[in-house]
A = this chain, B = another copy of it.
Amino acid sequence: MIIIYFLIFAVRFSHQREKIREIVYNTNSHPTADKIFLEAKKSIPKISLGTVYRNLKQLEISGEIKTIYDDNIARYDWNTEPHNHLKCKNCGDLIDIVLKDKSIHPKIKKDFKFNVDKVEMFIIGTCKKHAKQT
């Protein structure tokens, strides 16, 4: 079974994929595909955007990274653990937070007969750098 698995889904080493993984794993700002592309270009000048997208998709399928959607654009996150994001409406920064409170799950199951897998949360407001000084 394992042999068949590798025969069908053989994944080869590639410098491009390594670089892309490295970029995502060394960035906390949840970069977009374009940001990753521009960064990768610095060391692999001929890399193409198509390659970036293909590898990001593959890394997501293999569970190494996670895609999050900020309004209409995909951003990539090395943190695949369940967590949520604070979004500052002034600077656009996404800040990771972990909310351990799962008290909502049974409530929703009870009220809506809905089985909760995960909660994706964007908490919008102003971060400490951009809070209005009154």
A125 vs B105: C-alpha distance when bound (angstroms): 10
Chain B residues with Cβ below 8 Å from A111 are: 97
Binds B, one of A23-31, A40-48, A113-121: A113-121
Binds B, one of A2-10, A11-19, A50-58, A68-76: A68-76
Query: Are B117 and A120 in contact (CB-based, < 8 A)?
Result: no
Query: Are B114 and A127 in contact (CB-based, < 8 A)?
Result: yes
- From residue A47, how far is it (CB to closest CB) to chain B in Å? 23
Query: Are B115 and A126 in contact (CB-based, < 8 A)?
Result: yes
- From residue A87, how far is it (CB to closest CB) to chain B in Å? 9
Partner of A99, one of B104, B118, B122, B128: B104
A134 vs B65: C-alpha distance when bound (angstroms): 31
A120 vs B125: C-alpha distance when bound (angstroms): 11
Please, what's the 1-or-0 string for A89-104, where 1 marks a CB less than 8 Å from any CB in chain B?
1000001010101001
Chain B residues with Cβ below 8 Å from A117 are: 89, 124-126
- From residue A54, how far is it (CB to closest CB) to chain B in Å? 17
Query: Are A118 and B114 in contact (CB-based, < 8 A)?
Result: no
